[in-house]
Structure 1
Amino acid sequence: MAQQERATRTRAAVIDAAAAEFDAHGYEGTSLAMISKTAGLSMGAVTFHFASKSALADTVQEEGRRRTQAALKRATNHSAAALETAMRVTVELTGLLEREPLVRAAVRLVRERPGSDVWSDIWLPSVRELLEEAHEQGHLHSDAQPADVVLLAEMLTAGAEVYLRTRLGSGARFDSASASLERAWQLALDGIAPARPLADPASG
């Protein structure tokens, strides 16, 4: 039993090290030697669990998918209105990206490895369904088509990832990406242009 537990811990350490390297350097910029060094394990210990960098990348992507699905379930597992829930999904996923290098690594690997599923395919269908429901309930402006709001949700979430990538490695303090996304959503809901002032009768 102790040997099995040790093997499980070693495998987890390899996956975490791989995620850190893939997140920082991408697929092409990462080697098994780098992963071995980051994990503090011999190359033999790494290849005992994963025969190749490709196999490790597959595992990181699959674990990233699993954690994303869990976050999606958390965000939708309540009785809030559909529009609020759609927003909550994007905020929850942004928080996930902020907290977990493994998820950021999975998202980066999806972009860099041909044939990989798109990360947004995991959660965007749920957001689309929620926004269509919000539209049917009359909770969207009459000029706001669900497809356009879905695109807004996708672009805001993608922008949050870029925001994180440009700041996490800088060492500088920065605002929480999920909190910033909530504020961006509020701006979108409230509108950023002031209401047109009434004409001054004296000027007519």
Structure 2
Amino acid sequence: MAIQGRAVRTRDALVRAAAAEFDEAGYEGARLSRISELADVSMGALTFHFPAKAALADAVQEEGLAITKALVERLSKGCAPGLDAVIALSVGLVRLLEEDPVVRSSVRLAGERPGGAGRWVDIWLPAVRDHLWPQCEGARSAGIEEVRQAVTDMVVYLLTGAASQVRAGLGVSAGASRSAGERLERIWRLVVAGVVAGVVVEQA
């Protein structure tokens, strides 16, 4: 049992170290020797758990997606559908990107390895749609559905842009005190009145 526990800890350390290396250097630039050093694990132990760099990248992506899924489920639990739920979810996802190198790394790897373990957007986009589309049940106005689809598209663009900002180190711009999450909240405050107004106009 002790040996099994040590193996789990070693694997976890390697995944965390690999995430840090992929986050900084990307898939092609990442070095197994550096990951071994960061995890304080021998190369032999590394290759025992992960025989190739691709296996390590898959593990990082899977872990990042699992962390994201857990956040989406937590933020969506008991939350009434609507724009407020979408805002809370999008801000939470951006903060997760800022705070968790495994999630950041999984997003980067998904872009650099199209055939890898999965895409970040596929984890949270269904929840965004679920929060918005139920309000359209029974609605006959194509305009209302167009507004909701536009909001969905906007969330994708906002989160893609926020991910790029975090990746470029622009989560806090020069001379600014706001994090990327705070900046996204500010953007939402500026656009939400227009979104609500659009729905009202279409219903009129």
Using structure 2 for the length normalisation, give the TM-score. 0.83
* 2:189 is aligned with 1:186: yes
Counting aligned pairs with the same residue, the percent is 47
The residue that corresponds to 2:179 in the other structure is: 176
Choose 1 or 2 for highest CA Rg: 1
- 1-structure distance, mates of 2:9, 2:83: 41
SS in 1 for 2:51: coil
Shift of 1:175: 2.1
The residue that corresponds to 1:107 in the other structure is: 107
What code does the residue aligned with 1:56 have? Answer: L
Shift of 1:74: 1.0
SS in 2 for 1:69: helix
Residues 50/8 of structure 1: CA separation in 2 closer, same or farther (3 Å cut)? same
**Is contact 1:167–1:174 with CA below 8 Å preserved after alignment?**
no
**Is contact 2:14–2:39 with CA below 8 Å preserved after alignment?**
yes
- 1-structure distance, mates of 2:184, 2:172: 20
SS in 1 for 2:154: helix
The residue that corresponds to 1:67 in the other structure is: 67
**Is contact 1:17–1:38 with CA below 8 Å preserved after alignment?**
yes
SS in 2 for 1:167: coil
CA RMSD, aligned part only?
2.6
1:26-45 to structure 2, matched below 5 A, reads 26-45=26-45
**Is contact 1:20–1:102 with CA below 8 Å preserved after alignment?**
yes
- 2-structure distance, mates of 1:125, 1:183: 24
Q: Which has the higher helix share?
A: 2
The residue that corresponds to 1:199 in the other structure is: none
* 2:169 is aligned with 1:167: yes
| Residue correspondences, number | 190
- 2-structure distance, mates of 1:169, 1:187: 19
1:1-204 to structure 2, matched below 5 A, reads 1-116=1-116, 117-134=118-135, 145-167=147-169, 174-191=177-194
What code does the residue aligned with 1:53 have? Answer: K
- 1-structure distance, mates of 2:28, 2:162: 24
- 2-structure distance, mates of 1:170, 1:187: 19
Shift of 1:93: 1.0
**Is contact 2:172–2:179 with CA below 8 Å preserved after alignment?**
no
Runs of 5+ unmatched residues, structure 1:
192-204
- 1-structure distance, mates of 2:30, 2:121: 24
- 1-structure distance, mates of 2:137, 2:98: 33
Which stretch of structure 1 is more off in the superposition, 2-11 or 50-59? 2-11
- 2-structure distance, mates of 1:184, 1:168: 16
- 2-structure distance, mates of 1:2, 1:118: 35
Using structure 1 for the length normalisation, give the TM-score. 0.83
- 2-structure distance, mates of 1:79, 1:137: 21
- 1-structure distance, mates of 2:87, 2:136: 14
